[in-house]
Amino acid sequence: MSTSQTEPPVHSEPSTLLAIHVGMPRTYGHPDAEEPMDREWTTSFFKEPVPGPVRMLRTRVEGDQPANTEAHGGPEQAALIYSADHYPTWQRELDLPDFGYGAFGENFSVSGLTEDTVSIGDVLAIGDVRLEVSKPRAPCWKIDRRWRRDDLMRRVGETGRTGWYVRVLKEGTVSPGLAVSLQAGPCPEWTVTRVTRVMGERRSRPEEAAALASCEHLSPDWREKLARTASIR
């Protein structure tokens, strides 16, 4: 985690926090349903917009609680950020004109940033809050269940439009409409896009996997997976 008192250079691209979404665990469906999409499941994926202000805490956004705390939440996944710039493309591809902010279960929808322009260790300054990019979001089956499609998780992975997780360097209050300053970190070569690709192909790219495992700003769970892969080659 970055502890330097010197602010890194700020990227010139304008970015804005357009929406904040939070959700609590809820159970949907029926345990005896024949259709798999209708069976009982518990999730916090159905998030509601928050007009703000809202507190950004060390391990979560105020009012947000993951259903599966083993796979979600915690200091390395305190908030999920998704690029608002992707939504027009998804609307066209899925023919869902109402598919908008919060559709991927993200906490923060931001404009002007994508997986190609954000790197591990970059710092996002939003008001008095400081967030550090920790790892890409690995899409899971709940994306399919949320939208009742059996191809969406796969498409998110294939397109690389995954979103990314952040850890909290400085707690504070955020609201929609605030500017987002992307301050370049020490690992500009490890964009979210590249990290996702290397993780997915780590068995066939052992040298890159080993190099990525040495990136101290990458979330420890991903570093461990990469190191294990590199050690068995």
> What's the token pair of residue 195?
């990290």
Residue burial 195-224, b: 16+ Cβ < 10 Å; e: rest:
bbebbeebeebeebbbebbebebbbeebbe
List the pLDDT tens digit at each of the 233 positions of the chain: 333 333 333 444 589 999 999 999 999 999 999 999 999 999 999 999 999 899 999 999 999 999 988 888 899 999 999 999 999 999 999 999 889 999 999 999 999 999 999 999 999 999 999 999 999 999 999 999 999 999 999 999 999 999 999 999 999 999 999 999 999 999 999 999 999 999 999 999 899 999 999 999 999 999 999 998 866 55
For 68-101, give one letter per residue: b (16+ CB within 10 A) or e: eeeebbbebbbbbbbbbbbbeebeeeeeeeebbb
Secondary structure (3-state) at 210? helix
Nearest of 225, 157, 216 to residue 190 by alpha carbon: 216
Please, what are the domains in the chain? 16-186 (2.40.33.20)
Asked whether the beta carbons of 112 and 85 are under 8 A apart, the reply is yes
Q: What is the pTM of this model?
A: 0.92
Give the separation between CA 202 and CA 218, rounded to whole angstroms.
15
